[in-house]
Structure 1
Protein backbone atom coordinates (compact mmCIF):
# COMPACT_ATOMS: atom_id res chain seq x y z
CA UNK A 1 0.00 0.00 0.00
CA UNK A 2 1.22 3.49 -0.78
CA UNK A 3 1.55 5.76 2.23
CA UNK A 4 0.02 9.23 2.23
CA UNK A 5 2.36 12.09 1.44
CA UNK A 6 4.04 11.01 -1.80
CA UNK A 7 3.55 14.24 -3.70
CA UNK A 8 4.99 15.53 -6.95
CA UNK A 9 5.76 19.13 -7.73
CA UNK A 10 7.28 19.12 -11.20
CA UNK A 11 7.95 21.74 -13.83
CA UNK A 12 8.74 20.96 -17.46
CA UNK A 13 10.00 23.43 -20.05
CA UNK A 14 9.91 22.71 -23.75
CA UNK A 15 12.42 24.02 -26.28
CA UNK A 16 13.02 27.78 -26.23
CA UNK A 17 11.21 27.97 -22.85
CA UNK A 18 7.84 27.96 -24.56
CA UNK A 19 4.91 26.38 -22.64
CA UNK A 20 5.96 25.93 -19.02
CA UNK A 21 4.11 22.94 -17.51
CA UNK A 22 3.70 22.68 -13.74
CA UNK A 23 2.17 19.64 -12.02
CA UNK A 24 1.36 19.19 -8.34
CA UNK A 25 -0.19 16.12 -6.80
CA UNK A 26 0.22 12.35 -6.68
CA UNK A 27 1.44 10.44 -9.71
CA UNK A 28 0.03 7.12 -8.56
CA UNK A 29 -3.14 5.04 -8.75
CA UNK A 30 -5.84 6.97 -6.87
CA UNK A 31 -3.91 10.24 -7.13
CA UNK A 32 -5.15 13.70 -8.12
CA UNK A 33 -2.98 16.17 -10.03
CA UNK A 34 -3.45 19.92 -10.49
CA UNK A 35 -1.58 21.39 -13.44
CA UNK A 36 -0.90 24.78 -14.94
CA UNK A 37 0.28 25.90 -18.37
CA UNK A 38 0.47 29.66 -18.68
CA UNK A 39 0.15 29.89 -22.46
CA UNK A 40 -2.03 26.85 -23.24
CA UNK A 41 -5.36 27.27 -24.98
CA UNK A 42 -6.22 23.56 -25.17
CA UNK A 43 -5.18 20.68 -22.89
CA UNK A 44 -6.06 17.00 -23.12
CA UNK A 45 -5.34 14.08 -20.79
CA UNK A 46 -5.41 10.69 -22.53
CA UNK A 47 -7.37 12.42 -25.33
CA UNK A 48 -9.96 13.81 -22.89
CA UNK A 49 -10.26 17.62 -23.14
CA UNK A 50 -9.65 19.38 -19.82
CA UNK A 51 -11.43 22.57 -18.79
CA UNK A 52 -8.98 25.41 -18.03
CA UNK A 53 -9.32 28.08 -15.37
CA UNK A 54 -8.65 31.69 -16.27
CA UNK A 55 -5.03 31.21 -15.16
CA UNK A 56 -4.50 28.09 -17.24
CA UNK A 57 -5.00 25.58 -14.41
CA UNK A 58 -6.58 22.14 -14.82
CA UNK A 59 -7.09 18.96 -12.83
CA UNK A 60 -7.20 15.23 -13.52
CA UNK A 61 -6.92 11.97 -11.61
CA UNK A 62 -5.94 8.33 -11.83
CA UNK A 63 -8.32 5.50 -10.94
CA UNK A 64 -7.50 2.49 -8.75
CA UNK A 65 -6.56 0.31 -11.72
CA UNK A 66 -5.01 3.01 -13.91
CA UNK A 67 -2.28 1.85 -16.29
CA UNK A 68 1.30 2.99 -15.81
CA UNK A 69 1.65 5.46 -18.70
CA UNK A 70 -0.54 8.42 -19.62
CA UNK A 71 -0.35 11.27 -22.12
CA UNK A 72 -0.82 14.97 -21.42
CA UNK A 73 -1.06 17.12 -24.55
CA UNK A 74 -1.64 20.82 -25.12
CA UNK A 75 -1.74 23.49 -27.80
CA UNK A 76 -0.12 26.81 -26.99
CA UNK A 77 -1.09 30.28 -28.12
CA UNK A 78 1.20 29.88 -31.14
CA UNK A 79 -0.80 26.78 -32.17
CA UNK A 80 2.16 24.53 -31.44
CA UNK A 81 1.41 21.02 -30.17
CA UNK A 82 3.19 19.67 -27.06
CA UNK A 83 3.06 16.24 -25.47
CA UNK A 84 4.33 14.93 -22.14
CA UNK A 85 4.25 11.28 -21.13
CA UNK A 86 3.41 10.71 -17.48
CA UNK A 87 4.47 7.51 -15.71
CA UNK A 88 2.69 6.68 -12.47
CA UNK A 89 3.46 4.19 -9.71
CA UNK A 90 1.33 1.12 -9.19
CA UNK A 91 0.08 0.21 -5.73
CA UNK A 92 -0.53 -2.96 -3.80
CA UNK A 93 -3.98 -3.12 -2.23
CA UNK A 94 -5.01 -5.12 0.81
CA UNK A 95 -7.61 -7.86 0.99
CA UNK A 96 -10.53 -6.95 3.26
CA UNK A 97 -12.76 -9.81 4.43
CA UNK A 98 -16.00 -8.65 6.04
CA UNK A 99 -18.44 -10.99 7.75
CA UNK A 100 -21.85 -10.46 9.31
CA UNK A 101 -23.26 -8.54 6.32
CA UNK A 102 -27.01 -8.97 5.85
CA UNK A 103 -27.77 -11.41 3.02
CA UNK A 104 -29.95 -8.86 1.18
CA UNK A 105 -26.86 -6.65 0.67
CA UNK A 106 -24.62 -9.50 -0.56
CA UNK A 107 -27.16 -11.05 -2.96
CA UNK A 108 -30.00 -8.51 -3.33
CA UNK A 109 -33.43 -9.88 -4.27
CA UNK A 110 -34.81 -9.25 -7.75
CA UNK A 111 -37.41 -6.92 -6.27
CA UNK A 112 -34.76 -4.23 -5.53
CA UNK A 113 -32.59 -4.53 -8.68
CA UNK A 114 -34.47 -1.75 -10.51
CA UNK A 115 -34.05 0.53 -7.49
CA UNK A 116 -30.33 -0.23 -7.34
CA UNK A 117 -29.87 0.57 -11.05
CA UNK A 118 -31.78 3.84 -10.78
CA UNK A 119 -29.83 4.95 -7.71
CA UNK A 120 -26.50 4.10 -9.36
CA UNK A 121 -27.49 6.15 -12.41
CA UNK A 122 -28.38 9.17 -10.25
CA UNK A 123 -25.05 8.97 -8.44
CA UNK A 124 -23.11 8.73 -11.73
CA UNK A 125 -24.93 11.78 -13.05
CA UNK A 126 -24.02 13.78 -9.94
CA UNK A 127 -20.36 12.81 -10.30
CA UNK A 128 -20.46 13.88 -13.97
CA UNK A 129 -20.94 17.54 -12.95
CA UNK A 130 -18.33 19.84 -14.55
CA UNK A 131 -18.75 23.27 -13.00
CA UNK A 132 -16.34 26.21 -12.99
CA UNK A 133 -15.95 26.17 -9.20
CA UNK A 134 -12.28 26.26 -8.25
CA UNK A 135 -12.50 24.74 -4.76
CA UNK A 136 -10.50 21.70 -5.92
CA UNK A 137 -7.42 23.87 -5.30
CA UNK A 138 -8.27 24.32 -1.58
CA UNK A 139 -6.61 22.25 1.17
CA UNK A 140 -8.51 19.10 2.14
CA UNK A 141 -9.07 18.45 5.85
CA UNK A 142 -10.28 15.41 7.77
CA UNK A 143 -14.12 15.39 7.74
CA UNK A 144 -14.70 13.55 11.03
CA UNK A 145 -12.84 12.21 14.07
CA UNK A 146 -12.53 8.48 14.59
CA UNK A 147 -10.59 5.33 13.79
CA UNK A 148 -9.57 4.59 10.19
CA UNK A 149 -11.37 1.28 9.69
CA UNK A 150 -11.10 0.86 5.93
CA UNK A 151 -8.82 2.17 3.20
CA UNK A 152 -9.05 2.95 -0.49
CA UNK A 153 -8.52 0.21 -3.03
CA UNK A 154 -8.89 -2.85 -0.82
CA UNK A 155 -10.44 -5.88 -2.50
CA UNK A 156 -13.54 -6.72 -0.49
CA UNK A 157 -15.17 -10.03 0.33
CA UNK A 158 -18.61 -9.91 1.96
CA UNK A 159 -19.44 -13.12 3.82
CA UNK A 160 -16.78 -14.84 1.71
CA UNK A 161 -18.10 -13.57 -1.63
CA UNK A 162 -15.85 -11.29 -3.75
CA UNK A 163 -17.33 -7.86 -4.51
CA UNK A 164 -16.12 -4.53 -5.94
CA UNK A 165 -13.01 -2.93 -4.40
CA UNK A 166 -13.51 -0.31 -1.71
CA UNK A 167 -13.18 3.20 -3.16
CA UNK A 168 -13.26 5.28 0.01
CA UNK A 169 -11.70 5.98 3.37
CA UNK A 170 -13.73 4.64 6.30
CA UNK A 171 -13.76 6.61 9.56
CA UNK A 172 -15.46 4.67 12.37
CA UNK A 173 -17.28 6.54 15.13
CA UNK A 174 -20.62 6.46 16.89
CA UNK A 175 -23.88 7.32 15.15
CA UNK A 176 -24.54 11.06 15.31
CA UNK A 177 -20.88 12.14 15.14
CA UNK A 178 -20.77 15.36 13.05
CA UNK A 179 -19.42 15.22 9.50
CA UNK A 180 -17.70 18.50 8.57
CA UNK A 181 -17.03 19.80 5.07
CA UNK A 182 -13.32 19.08 4.39
CA UNK A 183 -13.22 21.81 1.71
CA UNK A 184 -15.76 24.18 0.13
CA UNK A 185 -18.27 23.00 -2.45
CA UNK A 186 -21.87 22.84 -3.62
CA UNK A 187 -24.18 19.91 -2.87
CA UNK A 188 -25.23 18.10 -6.07
CA UNK A 189 -26.83 15.01 -4.51
CA UNK A 190 -28.52 14.35 -1.17
CA UNK A 191 -30.60 11.27 -0.38
CA UNK A 192 -31.21 9.82 3.08
CA UNK A 193 -31.85 6.24 1.94
CA UNK A 194 -29.97 4.60 -0.94
CA UNK A 195 -30.02 0.82 -0.95
CA UNK A 196 -26.29 0.16 -0.61
CA UNK A 197 -24.95 3.45 0.75
CA UNK A 198 -27.84 4.62 2.94
CA UNK A 199 -27.71 8.35 3.63
CA UNK A 200 -25.59 9.82 0.82
CA UNK A 201 -24.30 13.30 -0.04
CA UNK A 202 -22.19 14.33 -3.04
CA UNK A 203 -20.43 17.72 -3.11
CA UNK A 204 -19.06 19.40 -6.24
CA UNK A 205 -15.68 21.13 -5.95
CA UNK A 206 -15.32 22.10 -9.60
CA UNK A 207 -13.81 20.87 -12.86
CA UNK A 208 -15.03 17.30 -12.36
CA UNK A 209 -13.77 16.92 -8.77
CA UNK A 210 -16.39 15.87 -6.23
CA UNK A 211 -16.52 14.16 -2.86
CA UNK A 212 -19.00 11.57 -1.59
CA UNK A 213 -20.18 10.80 1.97
CA UNK A 214 -22.17 7.64 2.67
CA UNK A 215 -23.86 5.61 5.44
CA UNK A 216 -25.03 8.88 7.02
CA UNK A 217 -27.66 8.83 9.76
CA UNK A 218 -28.83 12.40 9.13
CA UNK A 219 -28.44 14.98 6.36
CA UNK A 220 -28.46 18.70 7.16
CA UNK A 221 -28.24 19.89 3.53
CA UNK A 222 -30.15 19.74 0.26
CA UNK A 223 -29.12 19.95 -3.38
CA UNK A 224 -27.84 23.43 -4.23
CA UNK A 225 -26.56 24.28 -0.74
CA UNK A 226 -23.12 25.92 -0.55
CA UNK A 227 -20.67 24.50 1.98
CA UNK A 228 -17.63 26.18 3.48
CA UNK A 229 -14.75 24.32 5.12
CA UNK A 230 -15.84 23.12 8.55
CA UNK A 231 -19.60 23.30 7.98
CA UNK A 232 -21.51 20.54 9.82
CA UNK A 233 -23.61 19.07 7.00
CA UNK A 234 -24.33 15.47 8.06
CA UNK A 235 -23.93 12.88 10.82
CA UNK A 236 -22.14 9.53 10.83
CA UNK A 237 -24.48 6.54 10.76
CA UNK A 238 -24.90 2.85 10.03
CA UNK A 239 -27.31 3.02 7.07
CA UNK A 240 -27.11 0.82 3.99
CA UNK A 241 -24.62 -2.06 3.67
CA UNK A 242 -22.61 -1.78 6.89
CA UNK A 243 -21.63 -3.79 9.94
CA UNK A 244 -21.28 -0.76 12.21
CA UNK A 245 -21.45 3.06 12.24
CA UNK A 246 -18.84 4.85 10.16
CA UNK A 247 -18.32 7.47 7.46
CA UNK A 248 -17.30 6.18 4.02
CA UNK A 249 -15.64 9.22 2.42
CA UNK A 250 -14.75 9.23 -1.28
CA UNK A 251 -13.16 11.56 -3.84
CA UNK A 252 -13.91 11.47 -7.56
CA UNK A 253 -12.66 12.93 -10.82
CA UNK A 254 -15.85 12.39 -12.82
CA UNK A 255 -16.23 8.59 -12.66
CA UNK A 256 -12.63 7.90 -11.66
CA UNK A 257 -12.36 7.06 -7.96
CA UNK A 258 -9.54 8.87 -6.14
CA UNK A 259 -7.95 8.19 -2.74
CA UNK A 260 -9.03 10.74 -0.09
CA UNK A 261 -6.13 9.75 2.16
CA UNK A 262 -3.62 11.05 -0.40
CA UNK A 263 -5.29 14.46 -0.23
CA UNK A 264 -6.27 14.71 3.43
CA UNK A 265 -4.44 16.86 5.93
CA UNK A 266 -4.43 15.40 9.44
CA UNK A 267 -6.17 18.45 10.92
CA UNK A 268 -9.91 18.09 11.50
CA UNK A 269 -11.99 20.37 9.27
CA UNK A 270 -13.20 23.44 11.15
CA UNK A 271 -13.86 27.11 10.58
CA UNK A 272 -10.39 27.81 11.98
CA UNK A 273 -8.87 25.58 9.25
CA UNK A 274 -9.86 28.03 6.52
Structure 2
Protein backbone atom coordinates (compact mmCIF):
# COMPACT_ATOMS: atom_id res chain seq x y z
CA UNK A 1 0.00 0.00 0.00
CA UNK A 2 1.25 3.49 -0.85
CA UNK A 3 -0.03 6.79 0.42
CA UNK A 4 1.00 10.43 0.70
CA UNK A 5 0.95 10.34 4.50
CA UNK A 6 4.22 10.22 6.53
CA UNK A 7 5.77 11.05 9.98
CA UNK A 8 7.42 13.42 12.56
CA UNK A 9 6.69 12.33 16.03
CA UNK A 10 4.87 9.41 17.48
CA UNK A 11 1.54 9.88 19.16
CA UNK A 12 0.37 6.77 20.97
CA UNK A 13 -3.36 6.53 21.58
CA UNK A 14 -4.10 3.76 24.04
CA UNK A 15 -7.80 3.11 24.37
CA UNK A 16 -8.99 -0.37 25.33
CA UNK A 17 -9.32 -2.60 22.31
CA UNK A 18 -13.06 -2.89 22.99
CA UNK A 19 -13.62 0.80 22.31
CA UNK A 20 -16.35 1.39 19.74
CA UNK A 21 -14.34 4.06 17.93
CA UNK A 22 -10.69 5.02 17.69
CA UNK A 23 -9.05 7.70 19.76
CA UNK A 24 -7.99 10.09 17.03
CA UNK A 25 -6.31 13.39 17.94
CA UNK A 26 -7.83 16.66 16.81
CA UNK A 27 -4.45 17.71 15.41
CA UNK A 28 -1.03 16.23 14.76
CA UNK A 29 2.32 17.62 13.65
CA UNK A 30 3.75 17.05 10.22
CA UNK A 31 5.66 13.78 10.45
CA UNK A 32 3.68 12.31 13.34
CA UNK A 33 3.24 8.56 13.66
CA UNK A 34 -0.15 7.75 15.19
CA UNK A 35 -0.82 4.45 16.94
CA UNK A 36 -4.46 3.91 17.86
CA UNK A 37 -6.93 1.25 18.95
CA UNK A 38 -10.44 0.48 17.77
CA UNK A 39 -12.85 -2.36 18.35
CA UNK A 40 -11.47 -5.64 16.99
CA UNK A 41 -12.74 -6.19 13.47
CA UNK A 42 -13.22 -2.48 12.76
CA UNK A 43 -12.63 -1.14 9.27
CA UNK A 44 -10.33 1.88 9.35
CA UNK A 45 -9.48 4.16 6.43
CA UNK A 46 -7.14 7.14 6.31
CA UNK A 47 -7.68 9.67 3.52
CA UNK A 48 -9.95 7.10 1.89
CA UNK A 49 -7.38 4.29 1.95
CA UNK A 50 -7.98 1.16 4.08
CA UNK A 51 -5.25 0.39 6.58
CA UNK A 52 -4.34 -2.75 8.49
CA UNK A 53 -6.20 -3.32 11.80
CA UNK A 54 -4.86 -5.97 14.16
CA UNK A 55 -6.87 -8.65 15.91
CA UNK A 56 -6.60 -6.51 19.06
CA UNK A 57 -7.82 -3.40 17.20
CA UNK A 58 -4.45 -1.66 16.90
CA UNK A 59 -3.79 0.44 13.80
CA UNK A 60 -1.14 2.92 12.67
CA UNK A 61 -0.83 5.75 10.23
CA UNK A 62 1.47 8.68 9.65
CA UNK A 63 1.39 12.33 8.68
CA UNK A 64 3.89 13.35 6.03
CA UNK A 65 6.59 15.98 6.27
CA UNK A 66 4.75 18.16 3.77
CA UNK A 67 1.19 17.07 4.55
CA UNK A 68 -1.19 20.02 4.83
CA UNK A 69 -4.32 18.26 6.07
CA UNK A 70 -6.92 17.98 7.30
CA UNK A 71 -6.81 14.19 7.24
CA UNK A 72 -10.05 12.20 7.13
CA UNK A 73 -10.00 9.13 9.40
CA UNK A 74 -12.92 6.71 9.27
CA UNK A 75 -13.46 4.00 11.87
CA UNK A 76 -16.51 2.14 10.70
CA UNK A 77 -19.02 4.95 10.10
CA UNK A 78 -17.36 7.32 12.57
CA UNK A 79 -15.59 10.12 10.69
CA UNK A 80 -12.88 12.29 12.23
CA UNK A 81 -11.08 15.25 10.69
CA UNK A 82 -7.49 15.63 11.90
CA UNK A 83 -5.79 19.00 11.48
CA UNK A 84 -2.07 19.07 10.65
CA UNK A 85 0.30 21.41 12.47
CA UNK A 86 3.17 22.58 10.25
CA UNK A 87 6.83 22.44 11.25
CA UNK A 88 9.62 24.84 10.40
CA UNK A 89 12.02 22.84 8.21
CA UNK A 90 15.56 24.30 8.04
CA UNK A 91 16.97 24.87 4.55
CA UNK A 92 20.71 25.11 3.84
CA UNK A 93 22.09 26.56 0.60
CA UNK A 94 25.38 25.16 -0.68
CA UNK A 95 26.99 26.64 -3.80
CA UNK A 96 30.10 25.67 -5.75
CA UNK A 97 29.46 21.91 -5.58
CA UNK A 98 30.88 19.94 -8.57
CA UNK A 99 27.99 19.29 -11.00
CA UNK A 100 28.64 15.52 -11.18
CA UNK A 101 28.19 15.36 -7.42
CA UNK A 102 24.80 17.08 -7.60
CA UNK A 103 23.66 15.15 -10.68
CA UNK A 104 25.48 11.82 -11.22
CA UNK A 105 26.29 10.69 -14.78
CA UNK A 106 23.65 8.50 -16.49
CA UNK A 107 25.24 5.15 -15.67
CA UNK A 108 25.52 5.97 -11.98
CA UNK A 109 22.02 7.47 -11.94
CA UNK A 110 20.65 4.24 -13.43
CA UNK A 111 22.42 2.17 -10.78
CA UNK A 112 21.04 4.38 -8.02
CA UNK A 113 17.52 4.05 -9.45
CA UNK A 114 17.77 0.23 -9.54
CA UNK A 115 19.06 0.03 -5.99
CA UNK A 116 16.46 2.41 -4.63
CA UNK A 117 13.69 0.47 -6.37
CA UNK A 118 14.79 -2.67 -4.50
CA UNK A 119 14.67 -0.79 -1.21
CA UNK A 120 11.22 0.63 -1.99
CA UNK A 121 9.93 -2.87 -2.76
CA UNK A 122 11.13 -4.12 0.60
CA UNK A 123 9.12 -1.38 2.35
CA UNK A 124 5.86 -2.48 0.76
CA UNK A 125 5.10 -5.23 3.31
CA UNK A 126 2.01 -5.19 5.53
CA UNK A 127 2.75 -7.99 7.98
CA UNK A 128 0.36 -8.58 10.86
CA UNK A 129 3.22 -8.59 13.38
CA UNK A 130 2.87 -5.89 16.07
CA UNK A 131 6.55 -5.55 16.92
CA UNK A 132 6.18 -1.76 17.14
CA UNK A 133 3.84 -1.89 20.15
CA UNK A 134 6.64 -2.38 22.71
CA UNK A 135 8.21 0.94 21.77
CA UNK A 136 11.71 1.70 20.53
CA UNK A 137 15.26 2.14 21.82
CA UNK A 138 18.24 4.00 20.34
CA UNK A 139 20.22 1.81 17.90
CA UNK A 140 23.38 3.70 18.91
CA UNK A 141 24.10 6.53 21.34
CA UNK A 142 25.86 9.63 20.09
CA UNK A 143 25.55 13.21 18.90
CA UNK A 144 22.74 13.89 16.46
CA UNK A 145 24.55 15.29 13.44
CA UNK A 146 21.63 15.42 11.02
CA UNK A 147 17.91 15.73 11.64
CA UNK A 148 14.90 14.47 9.77
CA UNK A 149 13.33 16.86 7.28
CA UNK A 150 16.21 19.29 6.84
CA UNK A 151 16.85 20.19 3.21
CA UNK A 152 19.84 21.36 1.19
CA UNK A 153 19.87 23.35 -2.04
CA UNK A 154 23.01 22.58 -4.08
CA UNK A 155 23.98 25.15 -6.71
CA UNK A 156 20.42 26.47 -6.59
CA UNK A 157 18.86 23.01 -7.12
CA UNK A 158 16.67 21.74 -4.24
CA UNK A 159 17.37 18.17 -3.19
CA UNK A 160 15.17 15.72 -1.30
CA UNK A 161 14.78 16.50 2.42
CA UNK A 162 16.88 14.45 4.81
CA UNK A 163 15.06 11.15 5.18
CA UNK A 164 16.11 10.21 8.70
CA UNK A 165 18.38 11.01 11.61
CA UNK A 166 22.20 10.90 11.53
CA UNK A 167 24.00 9.92 14.74
CA UNK A 168 27.75 10.56 14.85
CA UNK A 169 29.58 7.54 16.30
CA UNK A 170 32.99 5.93 15.69
CA UNK A 171 33.32 3.45 12.85
CA UNK A 172 32.61 -0.05 14.09
CA UNK A 173 30.11 1.02 16.78
CA UNK A 174 27.61 -1.85 17.22
CA UNK A 175 24.14 -1.06 15.89
CA UNK A 176 21.25 -2.56 17.83
CA UNK A 177 17.72 -3.30 16.67
CA UNK A 178 15.48 -0.49 18.00
CA UNK A 179 12.53 -2.90 18.16
CA UNK A 180 11.69 -6.48 17.27
CA UNK A 181 11.29 -7.24 13.59
CA UNK A 182 12.26 -9.19 10.49
CA UNK A 183 15.15 -8.28 8.17
CA UNK A 184 13.71 -7.55 4.71
CA UNK A 185 16.74 -6.08 2.92
CA UNK A 186 20.49 -6.40 3.41
CA UNK A 187 23.17 -5.18 1.01
CA UNK A 188 26.72 -4.13 1.92
CA UNK A 189 27.44 -2.06 -1.19
CA UNK A 190 24.74 0.34 -2.40
CA UNK A 191 26.14 3.35 -4.23
CA UNK A 192 24.56 6.09 -2.13
CA UNK A 193 23.94 4.38 1.19
CA UNK A 194 26.69 1.73 1.34
CA UNK A 195 25.90 -1.03 3.82
CA UNK A 196 22.12 -0.93 4.04
CA UNK A 197 19.65 -2.82 6.23
CA UNK A 198 15.85 -2.73 6.47
CA UNK A 199 14.09 -4.06 9.56
CA UNK A 200 10.32 -4.53 9.29
CA UNK A 201 8.31 -3.96 12.50
CA UNK A 202 4.90 -4.89 11.08
CA UNK A 203 1.92 -2.93 9.70
CA UNK A 204 4.14 -1.21 7.13
CA UNK A 205 6.53 0.26 9.71
CA UNK A 206 10.23 -0.25 9.05
CA UNK A 207 13.62 1.02 10.17
CA UNK A 208 16.50 1.49 7.76
CA UNK A 209 20.17 1.71 8.69
CA UNK A 210 22.62 3.22 6.20
CA UNK A 211 26.40 3.52 5.71
CA UNK A 212 27.07 0.37 7.78
CA UNK A 213 30.61 -0.99 7.88
CA UNK A 214 29.36 -4.48 8.73
CA UNK A 215 26.08 -6.41 8.46
CA UNK A 216 25.51 -9.23 10.93
CA UNK A 217 22.06 -10.46 9.87
CA UNK A 218 20.39 -11.98 6.80
CA UNK A 219 17.16 -11.35 4.92
CA UNK A 220 14.30 -13.23 6.56
CA UNK A 221 15.99 -13.36 9.96
CA UNK A 222 13.90 -12.55 13.03
CA UNK A 223 15.66 -10.17 15.43
CA UNK A 224 14.86 -8.91 18.90
CA UNK A 225 15.06 -5.43 20.36
CA UNK A 226 18.62 -4.70 21.46
CA UNK A 227 20.20 -7.39 19.28
CA UNK A 228 23.32 -6.29 17.40
CA UNK A 229 22.54 -6.27 13.67
CA UNK A 230 25.64 -4.55 12.28
CA UNK A 231 28.19 -1.81 12.82
CA UNK A 232 28.23 1.89 11.99
CA UNK A 233 30.55 3.13 9.27
CA UNK A 234 31.03 5.55 6.39
CA UNK A 235 30.27 3.38 3.36
CA UNK A 236 28.51 4.75 0.31
CA UNK A 237 28.44 8.51 -0.06
CA UNK A 238 29.24 9.50 3.52
CA UNK A 239 31.69 12.18 4.63
CA UNK A 240 32.44 10.56 7.99
CA UNK A 241 31.45 7.68 10.27
CA UNK A 242 27.88 7.82 11.52
CA UNK A 243 24.63 5.86 11.58
CA UNK A 244 21.74 7.06 9.47
CA UNK A 245 18.55 5.74 11.08
CA UNK A 246 15.47 6.20 8.95
CA UNK A 247 11.92 5.16 9.70
CA UNK A 248 9.04 4.58 7.29
CA UNK A 249 5.34 3.88 7.11
CA UNK A 250 5.35 2.08 3.77
CA UNK A 251 6.85 4.65 1.36
CA UNK A 252 6.41 7.56 3.76
CA UNK A 253 9.38 8.83 5.73
CA UNK A 254 8.99 9.34 9.47
CA UNK A 255 11.09 11.03 12.15
CA UNK A 256 12.80 8.47 14.42
CA UNK A 257 13.44 11.09 17.10
CA UNK A 258 9.78 11.14 18.06
CA UNK A 259 8.98 7.43 18.08
CA UNK A 260 7.53 5.90 21.28
CA UNK A 261 10.34 5.43 23.80
CA UNK A 262 12.78 7.73 21.98
CA UNK A 263 13.76 11.01 23.63
CA UNK A 264 16.34 13.64 22.62
CA UNK A 265 19.91 12.86 23.57
CA UNK A 266 23.26 14.63 23.13
Cα distance, 1:58 vs. partner? 0.7
Q: In the alignment, what sits opposite 2:225?
A: 229
CA gap of 1:96–1:135, structure 2 versus 1, over 3 A, is farther
Q: In the alignment, what sits opposite 1:265?
A: 262
Cα distance in structure 1, aligned partners of 2:9 and 2:192? 31
The CA RMSD measured in Å over matched residues stands at 2.6
Q: TM-score, normalised by structure 1?
A: 0.84
Unaligned runs of 5+ in 2: 1-7
Q: In the alignment, what sits opposite 1:125?
A: 121
CA gap of 1:225–1:100, structure 2 versus 1, over 3 A, is farther
User: How many residues are matched?
Assistant: 254
Task: Please list, as runs of the form range in 1=range in 2, the aligned pairs for 1:143-158 lying within 5 A after superposition.
Answer: 143-158=139-154
Q: In the alignment, what sits opposite 1:82?
A: 78
Give the secondary-structure state (helix, strand or coil) at the position aligned to 1:119. Answer: helix
Q: In the alignment, what sits opposite 2:4?
A: none
Task: Please list, as runs of the form range in 1=range in 2, the aligned pairs for 1:203-222 lying within 5 A after superposition.
Answer: 203-222=199-218
Name the structure where strand makes up a greater proportion of residues: 1
Q: In the alignment, what sits opposite 1:241?
A: 237
Higher relative contact order (CA 8 A, sep 6+): 2
Unaligned runs of 5+ in 1: 12-17, 76-80, 269-274
CA gap of 1:102–1:113, structure 2 versus 1, over 3 A, is same
Cα distance, 1:162 vs. partner? 2.9
Give the secondary-structure state (helix, strand or coil) at the position aligned to 1:122. Answer: helix
Alpha carbons 1:142, 1:267 under 8 Å: kept: no
CA gap of 1:111–1:211, structure 2 versus 1, over 3 A, is same
Task: Please list, as runs of the form range in 1=range in 2, the aligned pairs for 1:170-181 lying within 5 A after superposition.
Answer: 170-181=166-177
Alpha carbons 1:203, 1:211 under 8 Å: kept: yes
CA gap of 1:235–1:98, structure 2 versus 1, over 3 A, is farther
Q: In the alignment, what sits opposite 1:19?
A: 20
Cα distance, 1:96 vs. partner? 3.8
